[in-house]
Amino acid sequence: SGLITLDPGFKNTGSTQSAITFLDGEQGILRYRGYDIEELAEKSNFLEVSYLLINGELPSKTQYERFSQRITTHTLVHEDIKKILDGFPSVAHPMGVLSSLICSLTAFYPNSLDPNNTQEEIELSIVRLMAKMPTFAAWAFKNKVGHPVNYPDNELDYCSNFLKMMFALPAAKYEADPVISKALDKLLILHADHEQNCSTSTVRVVGSSQASIYASISAGINALWGPLHGGANQSVIEMLEAIKADGGDSKKYLEKAKDKNDPFRLMGFGHRVYKNFDPRAKIIKKAADEVLAKLGIDDPVLNIAKELEEAALKDQYFVDRKLYPNVDFYSGIIYRALGIPTDMFTVMFALGRLPGWIAQWKEMRENGEPIGRPRQVYVGPTQRPFVPISER
Ligand code: CMC
């Protein structure tokens, strides 16, 4: 079988050729289909960016209207999915609920299991995913807080509909604040794709066995959940809260992060690819300032975050290792300002990453990529005879 090159964590292994996202970690550049992330965050919207990622080009006005219209008409989910939701205890983490509900779509749309789905069938699955994910995400939250679920409101735009499903209560009128909708839309754009990261590689590997697109995306949600990946946004706020509760001494935590005998890491710092500022972190930091100012919120945790960042950027340990704030460092602060509870942060990341996962799944299938199957170097025992249990 020839010589096998070991590369744990695939630090230097390219798994595919891709035309979706360009990332230069040394210079801190991120582009979707050639468009700078800064420009998309400023001028575009999440559905337009989703179309771009999935189809390769920005939509014409007609294409955009058709795309958003189709998504809007599929936001409702099968009523039996509510029974699955009801089976989850309220302590269930919304990420586990979300991946389960997404996977349940394989049962409601079993033709997605056929690897020979036509182009139209695949497009419909994609529309369903984009349409139903916000419904599931909001329902996962409702299950946690014990409130009745809200059905989608198709008069609203993507983000306002999601916010209404999250926050409207039967006894009160609810209208999403446009400042909040806009900020959320920007955050989703910033999270929409990031080439071959852990969850995206998971989606591609699961999809490479020709599993259903729903099963592949569900697997991606699970990969995103971990604290070293998307789960970091929740960990950042928990860390900042802990620092605040401990008297706000950020220097002490910086020392802990540097101590190799202490498992503590500065959450929201460091990145496998960025050895410079994460361009998304720059935009989010600015957006956090703007959103908090517009909503008139004074969050002491933001000040701790800024102090921590400033101290880390000057610290030799962080400088030597090129550890900069990543996308998760400030996103939690905005989510909090938008009223989103901490254990929903990673769900928000998943909502944003969905079009990226879809685009990568589609590219992998269209390119007819082979099944993902890494090799290993075996280091276990050599051949030995079986010993019956009575003689062990
Ligand atoms: N705090 C303290 N030290 C760190 C940190 C940190 N946050 N990140 C890396 N290091 C050190 C690490 O100990 C190692 O030191 P040494 O060379 O002395 O052994 C060196 O920097 C290189 O780190 P690594 O763990 O080998 O790097 P990696 O590419 O395997 O890991 C990472 C990347 C993102 C998992 C890591 O930086 C980390 O754990 N960061 C905190 C979690 C986090 O914020 N994750 C979100 C990532 S961005 C968005 C996403 O993927 O969801």
Angle at 169 between CA 77 and CA 167, to 5 degrees: 70
The atom of ligand 1 lying closest to the CA of 270 is 37
In this prediction, residue 359 has a pLDDT band, given cuts at 50, 70 and 90, of very high
Contact 289, 48 (CB under 8 A): no
Q: Is the Cα torsion angle 292, 293, 294, 296 positive or negative in sign?
A: positive
| Domain-embedded: residue 279 | yes
| Domain-embedded: residue 374 | no
| CATH number, domain containing residue 221 | 1.10.580.10
Token reading at 361: 């799944």
Q: Is the pLDDT of residue 1 over 70?
A: no
CA distance linking residue 336 with residue 383, whole number of Å: 57
Cα(355) to ligand 1 centroid in Å equals 26
Mean pLDDT across the chain: 95
Same domain, 281 and 211: no
Same domain, 85 and 211: yes
Same domain, 213 and 318: no
Using the 8-state DSSP alphabet, how is residue 325 labeled?
B
| CATH number, domain containing residue 319 | 1.10.230.10
In this prediction, residue 347 has a pLDDT band, given cuts at 50, 70 and 90, of very high
Cα(270) to ligand 1 centroid in Å equals 5
The mean pLDDT of 194-221, rounded to a whole number, is 98
| Confidence (pLDDT) at 181 | 94
Same domain, 283 and 224: no
The atom of ligand 1 lying closest to the CA of 229 is 52
The atom of ligand 1 lying closest to the CA of 198 is 51
Same domain, 259 and 299: yes
> Is 328 an active-site residue?
yes
Q: Is the pLDDT of residue 145 over 70?
A: yes
pLDDT digits (tens, 9 = 90+) for 56-74: 999 999 999 999 999 999 9
**Residue whose pair of structure tokens reads 């795309």 in the numeric block:** 67
- What Cα–Cα distance (Å) separates residue 26 from each residue in 15, 200, 267, 309? 20, 21, 21, 19
Token reading at 332: 């939690």
Contact 52, 36 (CB under 8 A): no
Cα(316) to ligand 1 centroid in Å equals 15
Distance of CA 356 to the CA centre of its chain: 9
CA distance linking residue 271 with residue 83, whole number of Å: 40
Cα(288) to ligand 1 centroid in Å equals 23
The atom of ligand 1 lying closest to the CA of 265 is 1
Three-state DSSP class for residue 265: coil
| Domain-embedded: residue 11 | no
Same domain, 126 and 54: yes
Task: Write out the residue range of the structural domain in which residue 65 sits.
Answer: 16-228+355-366
**Per annotation, catalytic residue among 185, 271, 278, 343:** 271
Any residues with Cβ below 6 Å from ligand 1, and which?
A: 9, 197, 228-230, 232, 257, 265-272, 321, 323, 326-328
| Domain-embedded: residue 371 | no
Same domain, 75 and 169: yes
Alpha helices per DSSP H over the chain: 37-43, 46-55, 61-73, 80-86, 94-108, 119-145, 158-167, 178-191, 198-208, 213-225, 232-245, 250-258, 279-295, 300-314, 316-320, 328-337, 345-366
pLDDT digits (tens, 9 = 90+) for 92-133: 999 999 999 999 999 999 999 999 999 999 999 999 999 999
| Confidence (pLDDT) at 278 | 92
| Domain-embedded: residue 1 | no
Nearest CA to ligand 1 atom 12: 321
Ligand 1 probe mutation, 266, 318, 330, 349, most atoms within 8 A of CB = 266
Cα(314) to ligand 1 centroid in Å equals 17
Greater pLDDT, 170 or 136: 136
| Confidence (pLDDT) at 324 | 93
Same domain, 198 and 76: yes
- What Cα–Cα distance (Å) separates residue 69 from each residue in 121, 131, 154? 17, 10, 9
Same domain, 176 and 52: yes
Same domain, 289 and 309: yes
The atom of ligand 1 lying closest to the CA of 11 is 29
CA distance linking residue 151 with residue 135, whole number of Å: 8
pLDDT digits (tens, 9 = 90+) for 124-135: 999 999 999 999
CA distance linking residue 264 with residue 253, whole number of Å: 8
Q: Is the pLDDT of residue 277 over 90?
A: no
| Confidence (pLDDT) at 133 | 98
Nearest CA to ligand 1 atom 17: 321
Mean pLDDT check: name the lowest of 31-35, 87-91, 274-278, 312-316.
274-278
Q: How many domains does the chain have?
A: 2
Cα(145) to ligand 1 centroid in Å equals 33
Same domain, 266 and 205: no
CA distance linking residue 1 with residue 377, whole number of Å: 11
The whole-model pTM stands at: 0.94
Same domain, 215 and 240: no
| Confidence (pLDDT) at 2 | 75
